[in-house]
Chain A
């Protein structure tokens, strides 16, 4: 059963442009230069009950606008959408009882109060019974490992701790669908990993569907089975994550550092040496042609390793590859 059904959704809005300087300001007053921006262009997709769907694209691609249309905050210019059977922008309040949202760049917890105070407020807002609310807070604080954080004012929490509390707050009323807009933005590697684990745990434990936007391909790779890539407001790819990995996440970049000077002519067959320095090197290879294991063995045999970082291609590179193909 599909929980989200989007058909030909289109959103345009107008922005004012102004030339630099005082003259530009005066001209803008007299004759404003209005530019129409197509934030979302005729997109169509579906999401199934309990699915973990990734919605990725670079900054300004239209991800957040799409999420805000799906929550009913923004009205589309044309097209139709149905979320859990509701038309979001016509039945926003009814839909609000069924969905949870997190906008990673903006807090929903009251900044000066402990998170638990916001939890109790949300319980009232979602009209939950006191007993059920207490049980739910207990369950979520255990699942998200935030018991020790609940009574600390939100302003004193680290970004990673705050994000765990934010996601827990959005799940208080047991929504059937969770819309997460950049939940991992600004987090370090460890905090990102914990957020990903808790999202996956809640998806498995309660069957809550998750639509996750990110500009970090790693989020999608770690969490989602299916992915939609959006760029300049258009869907340029939608398929299983395994297919995306097979076709486009095939190259790996490795940064390596040694405790002793490296041979300037150091190379590995099938691997492109991007840079070879005195104590380290940067290299890139295609996993379909050169297995990771072979590269790692060659790197380890070249000397005493101090540090190794393996990274995937950036989302921009993936999009460029999709366009090129």
Chain B
């Protein structure tokens, strides 16, 4: 005979949806609280962007003056710097979910997450977003202040608004790829090599190192056909040159890849959860 529900609230189907989703909001909030536990650590993490942007500004100043032109592939020095700021802000704030999952499988703490009444993947996304949001805001503010001082004012509000939507979807898309790598840890345990390869794809083909516009046309087309460009290049390029056409292009690519990777994450999760072996018994 089945037992009565221990928590009376779960029995009401009407409440179920709101309460079910509220738990992920609570995870996000708790993760935010956790990030505030060490404010100095948070500040130190964000200091990285200051160093990166200072180096980039000096490197690209030399490049632009050597080219003897105010623009490269339609981007001014200021455009390039604000592009790189947005790209770095996204990349430095994203939580490495694959490492989280891999560590949890290795040390056995995954056991606690699997026996709670929530979706393991959504839990990680909520926790990751809680962590990323705060770091993203600090990165954007600190790095933005430096870039403003060095190369001039940022793009208008339209660029910010469009980039925020695209950055959120970019974090979600990155989350799906990290989840795919992390879930592989249920079977392989060690996934740092996959993680390294993924990061290098983002660096080169994603447009983190240099804007994709500076590539030869065939490499631009190749990169745009891959998902990595829509995690870094898409939001950053939209930030410096917002338009309805570009926004639609970026969002459509992001949503398309999200649909494909989301299905893969769901299928992989269903398979690996049955293959799990918990270390230490």
Contact of A93 among B2, B27, B37, B117 (CB under 8 A): B117
Report the separation of the CA atoms of residues A70 and B9 in the bound assembly, to the nearest whole angstrom: 24
> With contacts A103-B112, A121-B27, A125-B116 known, is A98 near B5, CB below 8 A?
yes
Q: Is the CB of A124 within 8 A of B22?
A: yes
Against B, the Cβ 8 Å flags (1 = close, 0 = not) of A109-147 are: 010110001101100111111000000000000000000
Q: Are B115 and A112 in contact (CB under 8 A)?
A: no
Bound-state CA distance A93–B7 (Å) is 13
| Distance, CA A112 to CA B22, complexed state (A) | 23
Does A125 lie within 8 Å of B23, measured CB to CB? Answer: yes
A64 within 8 Å of B (CB atoms): yes
Does B10 make an interface contact (CB < 8 A)? yes
In the assembled complex, which residues on chain A have CB atoms less than 8 Å from the CB atom of B63? none
Q: Is there contact, CB below 8 Å, between B274 and A75?
A: yes
Closest to A111 in B: B34
CB of B8, distance to nearest CB on chain A (Å): 8
B contact residues around A96 at 8 Å (CB): 115-117
| Residue tally, chain A, CB below 8 Å to B | 50
Q: Which of B103-111, B136-144, B195-203, B239-247 contacts A (4 or more CB under 8 A)?
A: B103-111
Q: Is the CB of A121 within 8 A of B278?
A: no
* Cβ–Cβ < 8 Å partners of B33 in chain A: 113, 117
The answer on a CB contact under 8 Å between B281 and A72 is: no
- The answer on a CB contact under 8 Å between A127 and B115 is no
B112 cross-chain contacts in A, Cβ below 8 A: 101, 103, 106, 108
Are B117 and A126 in contact, CB atoms less than 8 angstroms apart?
yes
Q: CB within 8 A of B9: which of A68, A99, A129?
A: A129
Chain B: minimal CB distance from A103 (Å): 6
Cβ of B221 under 8 Å from chain A: no
Interfacial residues of chain A within 68-93, with CB under 8 A of chain B in the complex: 68, 71-75, 84-86, 89, 92-93
Whether A176 contacts B30 in the complex (CB less than 8 A), given A73-B115, A113-B37, comes out as no
The answer, yes or no, to whether A232 is at the interface (CB within 8 Å) is: no
CB of A266 within 8 A of chain B?
no
Least CB distance, B245 to chain A, in whole angstroms? 42
At the interface, yes or no: A13 with Cβ under 8 Å from chain B? yes
Q: Does A311 contact B (CB under 8 A)?
A: no
Q: How far is the CB of A244 from chain B (nearest CB, A)?
A: 23
Task: Tell me the chain B residues, 73-114 only, with Cβ under 8 Å from chain A.
Answer: 107-112, 114
Specify the chain B residue showing the minimal Cβ separation from A75. B274
Q: Are A173 and B30 in contact (CB under 8 A)?
A: no
Chain A binding surface, main DSSP class: loop
B115 touches A126 (CB 8 A): no
For residue A257, CB closer than 8 A to chain B, the reply is no
Q: Does A272 belong to the interface (CB within 8 Å)?
A: no
Most buried by A among B15, B16, B33, B111: B111
Contact (Cβ within 8 A) A101 B6: no
A105 touches B6 (CB 8 A): no
- Evaluate whether A98 and B3 lie within 8 angstroms (CB atoms) in the complex, with A60-B281, A106-B107 already known: yes
Structural contact, B3 and A128, CB atoms closer than 8 A: no
- A97 interface residue (CB < 8 Å to B): yes
| B281 in complex: contacting residue of A63, A75, A113, CB < 8 Å | A63
In the bound complex, residues from chain B placing their C-beta under 8 Å from that of A174 are 6-7
Q: Tell whether B38 is near chain A: CB-to-CB under 8 Å.
A: yes
The yes or no answer to B118 lying at the interface (CB within 8 A) is: yes
Question: Inside 8 A of B107's CB, which chain A residues have their CB?
Answer: 106
Do B6 and A92 touch (CB < 8 A)?
no
Residues of B within 8 A of A218 (CB): none
Decide yes or no whether A313 CB sits under 8 A from chain B.
no
Q: Is A175 an interface residue (CB 8 A)?
A: yes
Shortest CB distance A247–B (Å): 28
Across the interface, which residues of A come within 8 angstroms of B22, CB to CB? 124, 127
Using a CB-CB cutoff of 8 Å, which residues 235-261 of chain B contact chain A? none
The residue in chain A whose Cβ has the minimal distance to the Cβ of B1 is A85
Give chain B's interface residues, CB within 8 Å of chain A. Answer: 1-3, 5-7, 9-10, 15-16, 19-20, 22-23, 25-27, 30, 33-34, 37-38, 107-112, 114-118, 274, 276-278, 280-281
Q: List 16 A-B contacts (CB under 8 A).
A: A13-B277, A71-B115, A75-B276, A85-B3, A98-B5, A106-B112, A110-B34, A112-B37, A117-B30, A121-B27, A124-B23, A125-B118, A127-B19, A128-B7, A173-B6, A176-B6
A-B CB proximity, top 7 nearest? A64-B281, A85-B2, A124-B26, A96-B117, A112-B37, A84-B3, A127-B19
* Given A74-B278, A113-B37, A153-B37, 16 additional A-B pairs, CB 8 A: A39-B281, A64-B281, A65-B278, A72-B114, A73-B278, A93-B118, A98-B3, A103-B111, A106-B111, A117-B30, A118-B30, A124-B23, A125-B23, A127-B117, A173-B7, A174-B7
